[in-house]
Amino acid sequence: MTTPSTDPRAASDVTDSGGLRLLGITLTLGDGDTAVTALDDVDLTVAPGEFVAVVGPSGSGKSSLLAVAGGLQQPTSGRVHIAGTELTALSDKERTAARRRHIGFVFQQSNLLASLTVREQLLLPLHIDGRLDAAARTRADELIDAVGLSHRSGSRPHQLSGGERQRAGLARALMTSPAVLLVDEPTSALDRVRAAEAVQLIAEQTHEHGTATVMVTHDTAIMDAADRVHEMVDGRLS
Amino acid sequence: MFLALRDLRFARGRFALMGAVVALIAVLGVLLSGLASGLADAGISGLRALPMTHMAFDRKATSEQFSRSTVEQEDWQAWSEAPGVERAEPFGNTLANAQVTQGAKKGEQVNLAVFGMAADSPMAPVSTKGEGLKESGAGIVITQEIADLGVEVGDVLTADKSMVRLEVVGMVDETVSYGHIGVAYTDLDTWRHLHYGLPGDLPEAARRQATAVALTLEEGADVAAVAKATATRADTKETTFDASPGYTAESSTMALIKGFLYAISALVVGAFFTVWTVQRKAEIALLKALGAPTGYILRDALAQVVAVLVGATAVGTAVGLALGSAMIGKAPFSLSAPAIATSAGLLIGLGTVGAIVAVRRITAVDPLTALGATR
């Protein structure tokens, strides 16, 4: 299942040039007899502009991989580098700030806020960071246009289809020009055609914005758009 | 407030219900404050109006001093000679029943809260109609509450029991009451006749008595020494209010009701925002995953709380003031700006405390839960 990297951009000095690098990541959940090894000595390097898919069955550790790569969870051992910064060496507060500025998340079923319009969903990350200005508004409109939601800019999540929500979630993740884009099961609420479209869009945006993108999914049918595919089994990445 | 305002708009039905509860509590708060002020006015406005700082009672009278205490001439003389005492004068207090025997309302029964004082005392009323008090003139100066019964200047009242003839010589157009009864000012001798219920000449002993000594003390006066020498006890003006019949019970009842009201409102607001915060848990996890610091989310949530409380309290207070204005004159009710401001402030303040306890659970939400259900 593994496609060896042929992308010239996946250089070894990726930690300095931006992108994402996981080094010897082990994550043990629980303790004593109930301890489970969710991630077992995982190494992964993703260059800027590269789209990597990680596939595996439920419980294989895919989501844990995203949690650790995105700074939502500290690994038991190992290091995470994002855009030249060692994420795992930061304090909780600094990690939160790093999430805000350098990491874009696309969640399962998009995870939009119920009371905000599509445009406001995009503006929110910049408001959180205190950078909500005219340039941000222009960028929001451009991204909404790029994901094909111009006609839905003023709609709230309950007025959108599953595919539209997913595209809004992608646009929001790109708002802060993140170095790393982490995508969690983007197609779980979509039919086959829409799923293919959504993943194609992620690939396009990855190449256009130069993000180091990791998508985890159990849907093997949508991997074609990825530059590289890894398989995850019992916490080990192959 | 980026999210808070949009949530308010989006979930306006729920917030409107919550706001309505707070607004109704604010209405009740205004009405209770008005009632408390009105009851206080009816109970002690007569005492409040007296120009004095303290009042000395017979030391043996420890409760209901106004009906139990008797002081002697030596007492007010000792007080007036003591250092730091600017003024000390006898003050008589009694409740009397009388009947209009001359005037338009002949036969009307009238209750009087009689305040006896020297006619030339600074405590003596300044009539807005008719004349002031005269020494041993058996005249009374009535206040608005008695005038409202139809008693006019020039009428004659006859006291029950003592059959003392009381000529209404003047009137003060203010509502001045004591123990829910309109005040009638009179000279000390007339007061003594009414107090002891004696027709004819007063016995010699009675001529030297009064209920209490009204004092005007300078800052730092040595009250204790004189009090000891005269077997009296000087209470501050505010303490004497408690000696007014029913005043303590009324004010503590109102305070109890208000206390429960604020406690209930804090709990209701706390309960609402607890449910609201629990409902928002997924969104809070998402915000944290997007990199929002906990402080950002807390500030947003508290701004929402304060906006709801201030808005609802303002509406409720306005409605309460409108209702309250209509009640003035029909019930012991008066609107006092400080009391209403305190009531509104407490409602907002305690509601915020209740909500803070609720939204604190924002800090415990784990951003990890924003990631897939497949974990």
pLDDT, tens digit (0-9, with 9 covering 90-100), for B109-122: 999 999 999 988 99
Q: Which of A215-224, B347-356, B366-375 has the highest mean pLDDT?
A: B347-356
Mean pLDDT value across residues B265-294: 93
Q: Which residue has the higher pLDDT, B371 or B2?
A: B2
What average pLDDT score do residues A138-164 get?
A: 94
Residue A222 domain flag: yes
Based on the fold, state whether residues B356 and B272 are members of the same structural domain: yes
Strand partners, B109: B99
- Asked if the structure places residue B103 within a domain, the reply is yes
Cα dist. B161→B20, B99, B146 in Å? 56, 11, 20
Q: Which of B195, B230, B265 is the last residue of a domain?
A: B230
pLDDT digits (tens, 9 = 90+) for B210-264: 999 999 998 877 788 888 888 899 889 999 999 888 888 988 999 999 999 999 9
Which range of residues forms the domain containing residue A44? 8-237
pLDDT for position B245: 83
Residue B374, pLDDT score: 37
| Residue B375, pLDDT above cutoff 50 | no
pLDDT at A11: 40
Q: Tell which A residues from 216 to 235 touch B, by Cβ distance under 8 Å.
A: 218
**Which residue of B lies nearest to A109 if distances are taken between CA atoms?**
B372
Main-chain phi, psi angles of B172, to 5 degrees:
-110, 125
pLDDT at A17 over 80: no
| A93 within a domain of the structure (yes/no) | yes
Instruction: Check pLDDT > 90 for residue A129.
Output: yes
Does any domain span residue B253? yes
The answer to whether position A87 is within a domain reads yes
Alpha-carbon distance B283 to A115, whole Å? 10
**The pLDDT of residue A4:** 46
Residues B184 and B282 occupy one common structural domain: no
Task: Determine whether the interchain pair B291/A124 forms a contact, defined as Cβ–Cβ distance below 8 Å.
Answer: no
Which chain B residues contact residue A125 at CB under 8 A? Answer: 290-291
| Count of beta carbons in the 10 Å neighbourhood of residue B48 | 15
In a domain, B237, yes or no: no
Q: Give a yes or no: residue A1 inside a domain.
A: no
A31 lies in a domain?
yes
Q: Are residues B80 and B188 in the same domain?
A: yes
Domain end residue (candidates: B197, B230, B263): B230
CB contact under 8 A, A62 and B7: no
Q: Do B372 and A107 touch (CB under 8 A)?
A: yes
Q: Is residue B241 part of a domain?
A: no
> Which pLDDT score is estimated for A7?
44
A89-120 in b/e form (b: 16+ CB < 10 A) is ebeeeebbbbbbbbbbbbbbbbbbbebbbbbb
Indicate if B72 and B150 belong to the same structural domain. Answer: yes
CA distance A180 to A19: 6
Give the A:B interface size as CB pairs under 8 Å: 88
pLDDT at A8: 42
Residue A2 domain-assigned (yes or no): no
- Indicate whether A3 belongs to any domain: no
Residue B163 has pLDDT above 80, yes or no: yes
Please report, to the nearest 10 degrees, the dihedral formed by the alpha carbons of residues B81, B232, B84, B214 taken in order. Answer: -90
Domain holding B159, by residue range, is 60-230
How many domains does one find in chain B?
2
Residues B91 and B164 in one domain: yes
pLDDT in tens, A77-93: 999 999 889 999 999 99
Same domain, B222 and B351: no
> pLDDT higher for B316 or A194?
B316
Average confidence score pLDDT of chain B: 90
Of the candidates B230, B258, B280, which is a domain's last residue? B230
CA B260 vs CA B28, B40, B266, B309: distances in Å: 12, 20, 10, 18
Residue that has been written with the tokens 């496609």 in this structure: A3
Residue B192: inside a domain, yes or no? Answer: yes
Number of folded domains that form chain A: 1
B201 and B64 in a common domain = yes
* pLDDT value of residue A173: 94
Q: Are residues B359 and B287 in the same domain?
A: yes
Same domain, B274 and B185: no
More confidently predicted of B111 and A15: B111
The answer to the question of residue A141 being in a domain is yes
The closest of B51, B52, B142, B53 to B105, measured between CA atoms, is: B142
Note whether B374 contacts A105, CB cutoff 8 Å. no
- Give the minimum alpha-carbon distance from A125 to chain B in angstroms, rounded to a whole number: 7
Contact A111, B286 (CB under 8 A): yes
Find the residue in B nearest to A58 (Cα). B374
| Residue B205 within any structural domain of the chain | yes
User: B238 in a domain, yes or no?
Assistant: no
Residues B133 and B91 in one domain: yes
Q: What are the pLDDT digits (tens) for A176-187? A: 999 999 999 888
- Is the predicted pLDDT of residue B372 greater than 70, yes or no? no
Tell which of B1, B281, B290 to mutate to test the A interface (max A CBs under 10 Å). Answer: B290
Residues B93 and B198 occupy one common structural domain: yes
**What percentage of chain B reaches a pLDDT higher than 90?**
66
**CB pair distance less than 8 Å for A128 and B290:** yes
pLDDT of residue A100: 93
> Tokens standing for A88?
């795992």
Residues of A in contact with B367 (CB under 8 A): 72
Chain B 268-297, residues with CB within 8 Å of chain A CB atoms: 282-283, 286-293, 296
- pLDDT, tens digit (0-9, with 9 covering 90-100), for A94-125: 999 999 999 999 988 768 999 999 999 999 99
The identity of residue B136, as a single letter, is: S
Question: Is this model's pTM higher than 0.90 or not?
Answer: no
Helix or strand (DSSP H, E) at A232: strand A228-233
**Which ranges of chain B would DSSP assign to H, the alpha helix?**
2-10, 12-49, 65-68, 73-81, 144-147, 188-196, 223-230, 237-242, 247-279, 281-289, 294-327, 337-359
Instruction: Kindly report the CATH number assigned to the domain that includes residue A77.
Output: 3.40.50.300
pLDDT of residue B75 exceeding 70: yes
pLDDT at A2: 43
- Is B303 in the A-facing interface, judged by CB distances under 8 Å? no
Verify that B89 and B133 share a domain, yes or no: yes
Note the pLDDT of residue B263: 92
With a cut of 80, say whether residue B103 has pLDDT above it.
yes
* Burial call B243-261: b when 16+ CB within 10 Å, e when fewer: bbbebeebbeebeeebeeb
